[in-house]
Amino acid sequence: MENEQYKINNLKDASNWDMWKFQIKAIMNVAEIFDVVTGKSKKPILAKIGNETEDEARKRHSVDSSIWKRADNKTQKCIVTSLDDQPLQYIMNCDTANGMWNKLLSVYKQMSDTSITIVQQKFYRYTMDPKDNIAGHILKLKNLSRQLKQLGKPISESMLITKMLIAISTSTVHGIQ
């Protein structure tokens, strides 16, 4: 990963959380460090295995810890260099990549729940703007549908079409064509 360059947009706020999370997961998977961020790869603890002597256990632990620390540092770099200032503030007190990841998950999960409610309200309250043509109207509803899908709350195709038709017929009644 050191020599490879990946271009993703920095995490700004909840608006690009899902896209950022998808991209950063893919990058970490390629670099084989995603297990560090999820906590599946844990910091090694000093313990004897089988007939190991204390000395052998310490040596093995030292090697394992060094490998884990390099992976954790690489993962932290991946996270930290892909955040804008605001998200960076959330993780500044975290010591591990797993701690950073869990903090971001908790912050943006909460914001995501709020975002879902806001976007659903926009979708269900949507009425066609008198200045819009049909194509603009359809585009706005498709964008709301896409946002809901990204938030994990997809709108069915039939519901989207129904909403488009209702909004068009309502606007026609009010003199919009």
Task: Please write the tens of the pLDDT for every residue from 19-36.
Answer: 899 999 999 999 999 999
Please name the residues in contact with 110: beta carbons below 8 A apart, sequence gap of 6 or more: none
How many Cα atoms are found within 13 Å in the side-chain-facing hemisphere of 165? 6
Last residue of a domain, one of 67, 88, 111: 111
Residue 86 lies in a domain: yes
* Length of the chain in terms of residues written: 177
Least confident of 1-10, 134-143, 156-165: 1-10
Domain shared by 31 and 62, yes or no: yes
Last residue of a domain, one of 111, 139, 163: 111
Name the 3-class secondary structure at 129: coil
Total structural domains in the chain? 2
Please give the Cα distance from 165 to 163 (Å, whole number). 5
Task: With CA atoms as reference, report the closest residue to 144 among 131, 158, 163, 130.
Answer: 163
161: containing domain: 126-177
Residue 77 lies in a domain: yes
Query: Which pairs from 20-27 meet CB under 8 Å and 24+ separation?
Result: 20/82, 21/108, 24/78, 24/79, 24/82, 27/1, 27/78
Helices (H), the chain: 17-30, 34-38, 54-80, 85-91, 97-125, 134-150, 157-173
Q: What's the pLDDT band for 157 if we cut at 50, 70, 90?
A: very high
Residue 121 lies in a domain: no
